[in-house]
Amino acid sequence: MLDPNKIDFKKLGFHAGLEVHHQIRSDRKLFCNCSPTLEKDPKNMDYSFYRYFRPVLGEMGDFDPGMLVEFEKGYKAIYLACERNTCTYEMDETPPFHPDMKAIKKGYELAIYFNCSALAEEVVVCRKQYLDGSITTGFQRTFITGRDGWVPVGSKKVRITNVHIEEDAARRVDWSDTSDRNVYFNLDRLGVPLTEVITDYRDIENPDELIELAKQIGRVLRISRIGRRGIGTARQDVNISIDDGNRVEIKGVQDLAAFDAFCRREVVRQHALLEINRKLKAQGLTKNDLEHMYIDVSHVFQLEDDRRALVTVFPRMKGIFGIEVQPNKDFGEEIFEKSMLITGIPREHHFHSDEVKRDAIRKRSEHASQLPVDRTRYRKICAAIKSRPEDAFVLVIGPERRVMHALKKIVERVKIALDGVPQETRRLLPNGNSEFLRVIHGKERIYPDTDTPPIVVSDEIMAECRQKVGRSPWEISKELNNKYGFSQRQIDLLIRDEKVEKFSQYTDTLHLKGQIAYRLLIELPRNCRRKGIEAKTQITDALAPELAKGHITLSQLESAIKTLSSDANLSPQGILKKLRLQKVSDEKLEKLILKHLDLFDINLIRSDEDYRSIILPKIVAAVMKSTDGSIEGKYVLEKIRRAVGVDKHDQEEKRKK
């Protein structure tokens, strides 16, 4: 197995693309008039109902392969609903209402922000099939607003292929034991307007570029004020491939900090699957050698009457199932993921022959005690199935019908290994590995919606959307960096807190220095929140002019904010009076400095730089405390250095040298 920490992404031909899903701000849901708010208390649900789903033929007369896998799972979807945010549309009892025009316009604004050269002249609503139960209709309504855009990432322009507006899915609130095949959803989120931004995977060549791409898209959604705020409002699917590998979609990634780890582990997985493919072919193995033949070895175990133990033999595959494909995960578990998800038979009831080895990966895990086969049973199974030394086998225990279904899926998955890396949608696990979720959907899943007629987007609407689009985040970043020397992290905080316009107001209108305006808008509110003080925007707006006029200093701001937060009737002038923040004259300041300097050896301060670095901050703090913080520390330090003659002394020392 490749070392995940030592990967040459360029050499392996790494490519990745994003599908960013982000809820947009709206007053209603996309296709009905319900409120787009979530119900936090499950006790407030008013009713429930359930559905079973089956796939339907696409327009070309084919079934989508991803839908067939979802159908095989046999889930019963149980829905919980609340009348405050759910109506008969979410229940699939009523056709869609006219779509929300405000949400449609925001979709066009986003397309313009992303530099899309092809804006849709009319909104054509399509149906995109989903059979996982998250949408009661079995399909999601979606439409394109723009294509062929780009965002800058480093020195390159990463292409945005599509910008969509669609309805969000219901949120899963509980997933009980997979053996009962029930899945529960809350309908409050179903139908909330959502944008999907899709990027071209060919333009990204390493995880760092992928992370920056996600940040750029997030910045657009913040600077435009179109994206909703809060946990769960944004989700990202990542498509990853390497040379000779295949497109694999990692679903529902929210944390950018996890991008690097799971990209590395997916590269390791695809590289390992390609190595396994080469080994299988080197053994001369073909798909015809892999038969759906199941041998009953229930006599080796003490099983209940309704349970069976069945084995399938895989010729010339000894050692293959035990190959590590991701850290602490072998090829056997990679194979079992599909059968476990579809049939509900748990991992502890699956076993492959390589797990009998002492160094088997499963024996190193916390699940080692769950192994159903020890060496004695292993020998009995080998005798019963008459396997050759070079053969491998897989054992599954459970109800006979489900066991046969599981073994069928296992044989099918091993056959796919002879083709290389399969196209799959996978779920990210907490340890950075991933597991099978479904086959990647094909073009057969999308077809026009017959309930919603096309909506022509007039030139007036286009002009209105263009007028609302402001500067892009990369233009803002360049300006703030050049003008004020801000780091990208500082700029991101201004964008994330939606304070860019306020920052411009403070610097351009009030003529505050850039760093001071930043401290007032970003750093001070954060420091106050840590101390339990709420620094509202109206408070900083009231204090900013006083700061610009010199009536108050930065060091006094926290006290002023605390006072204003506790007494909303106070004005900035009232704060000055209440806190007695009177301006100190230079004469009084010099007397205070001399008073504090008398406590120390001035000659030592002047000559010893180490001593000076310790003592001067203490004197500055003491002087500022005496003046109630009404003078900036920087100004106090300059006065102290002048009084001691530090600068003059340092200059003389330089001349002597």
Q: How far is CA 195 from CA 176, 217, 224, 449, in A?
A: 30, 11, 13, 18
Percent of the chain exceeding pLDDT 70 equals: 91
pLDDT tens string 326-381 = 999 999 999 999 999 888 899 889 999 999 998 899 887 766 667 888 899 999 99
Q: Is residue 462 part of a domain?
A: no
Q: Which pTM was predicted?
A: 0.84
Q: Kindly tell me the sign of the dihedral angle through the C-alpha atoms of 252, 256, 261, 265.
A: positive
251 and 164 fall within a common domain: yes
Q: Is residue 450 part of a domain?
A: no
CA distance 636 to 144: 60
Is the predicted pLDDT of residue 579 greater than 60, yes or no? no
* Residue 539, pLDDT score: 79
pLDDT tens string 21-36 = 999 999 999 999 999 9
97 and 125 fall within a common domain: yes
398 and 511 fall within a common domain: no
pLDDT tens string 613-627 = 888 888 878 877 776
Q: Is residue 461 part of a domain?
A: no
Is the predicted pLDDT of residue 111 greater than 80, yes or no? yes
Range of 182's domain? 9-279
Q: What is the DSSP letter of 443?
A: G
373 and 501 fall within a common domain: no
* Residue 132, pLDDT score: 81
202 and 83 fall within a common domain: yes
Structure tokens at 293: 């033949």
Reported as a pLDDT band with limits 50, 70 and 90, residue 113 is: very high
pLDDT tens string 239-285 = 999 999 999 999 978 888 899 999 999 999 999 999 999 999 999 99
* Residue 588, pLDDT score: 77
* Residue 438, pLDDT score: 86
- Domain boundary among the residues 393, 417, 441 is at 417
Angle ∠(464,466,469) on CA atoms, nearest 5: 115
pLDDT tens string 438-480 = 888 766 678 889 999 999 999 999 999 999 999 999 999 999 9
- Domain boundary among the residues 579, 603, 618 is at 579
- Domain boundary among the residues 279, 297, 331 is at 279
* Residue 72, pLDDT score: 79
Task: Label residue 25 exposed, middle or buried (CB < 10 Å: 0-12, 13-18, 19+).
Answer: middle
Taking residues 643-650, what's their average pLDDT? 68
Strands (E), 273-381: 295-296, 307-314, 324-326, 329-330, 350-352
Q: What is the DSSP letter of 42?
A: G
* Residue 592, pLDDT score: 78
Higher local confidence (pLDDT), 628 or 619: 619
38 and 129 fall within a common domain: yes
* Residue 364, pLDDT score: 79
Parallel, antiparallel or unpaired: strands 295-296 and 307-314 = antiparallel
pLDDT tens string 69-102 = 777 777 888 999 999 999 999 999 999 999 999 9
Task: Round the average pLDDT of the chain to a whole number and report it.
Answer: 87
Task: Label residue 380 exposed, middle or buried (CB < 10 Å: 0-12, 13-18, 19+).
Answer: middle
Helical packing angle, 473-484 and 207-223, nearest 10°: 90
Q: How far is CA 444 from CA 42, 128, 603, 634, in A?
A: 37, 9, 85, 68
Reported as a pLDDT band with limits 50, 70 and 90, residue 573 is: low
Number of H helices and number of E strands within the chain? 22, 23
Q: Kindly tell me the sign of the dihedral angle through the C-alpha atoms of 646, 649, 654, 657.
A: negative
Residue pair 345/364 in contact (Cβ under 8 Å)? The answer is no
* Residue 652, pLDDT score: 61
* Residue 175, pLDDT score: 57
Cβ neighbours of residue 321 under 8 Å, at least 6 residues apart?
314, 330, 331, 332, 335, 352, 353, 354, 355, 392, 394
Q: How many CA atoms lie within 13 A of 227 on its CB side?
A: 27
14 and 125 fall within a common domain: yes
How many domains would you assign to the chain? 4
CATH at residue 356? 3.30.1360.30
Cβ neighbours of residue 618 under 8 Å, at least 6 residues apart?
none
Q: How many CB atoms lie within 10 A of CB 469?
A: 14
311 and 348 fall within a common domain: yes
Reported as a pLDDT band with limits 50, 70 and 90, residue 557 is: confident
Q: Is residue 438 part of a domain?
A: no
130 and 260 fall within a common domain: yes
Taking residues 399-419, what's their average pLDDT? 94
Which of 98-102, 159-163, 253-257, 400-404 is the least confident region?
Answer: 253-257
Nearest CA to 251 out of 263, 261, 259, 239 is that of 239
Residue pair 170/136 in contact (Cβ under 8 Å)? The answer is yes
Reported as a pLDDT band with limits 50, 70 and 90, residue 61 is: low
Reported as a pLDDT band with limits 50, 70 and 90, residue 402 is: very high
CA distance 188 to 84: 9
Q: Is residue 617 part of a domain?
A: yes
* Residue 179, pLDDT score: 53
Reported as a pLDDT band with limits 50, 70 and 90, residue 1 is: confident
Parallel, antiparallel or unpaired: strands 76-81 and 182-186 = parallel
* Residue 368, pLDDT score: 61
Parallel, antiparallel or unpaired: strands 122-123 and 455-456 = antiparallel
Structure tokens at 429: 């696990």
Q: What is the per-residue DSSP string for 49-105?
A: EEE-------TTS---HHHHHHHHH--EEEEEE-TTT--TTTTTSS------HHHHH
Which of 143-152, 236-245, 248-257, 588-597 is the least confident region?
Answer: 588-597
Q: Is residue 443 part of a domain?
A: no
Residue pair 408/69 in contact (Cβ under 8 Å)? The answer is no
pLDDT tens string 217-245 = 999 999 999 999 887 788 899 999 999 99
Q: Is residue 49 part of a domain?
A: yes
CA distance 339 to 351: 12
Q: Is residue 455 part of a domain?
A: no
113 and 30 fall within a common domain: yes
313 and 198 fall within a common domain: no
Is the predicted pLDDT of residue 491 greater than 90, yes or no? yes
CA distance 404 to 296: 11
24 and 85 fall within a common domain: yes
Taking residues 546-568, what's their average pLDDT? 75
Q: What is the DSSP letter of 227?
A: B
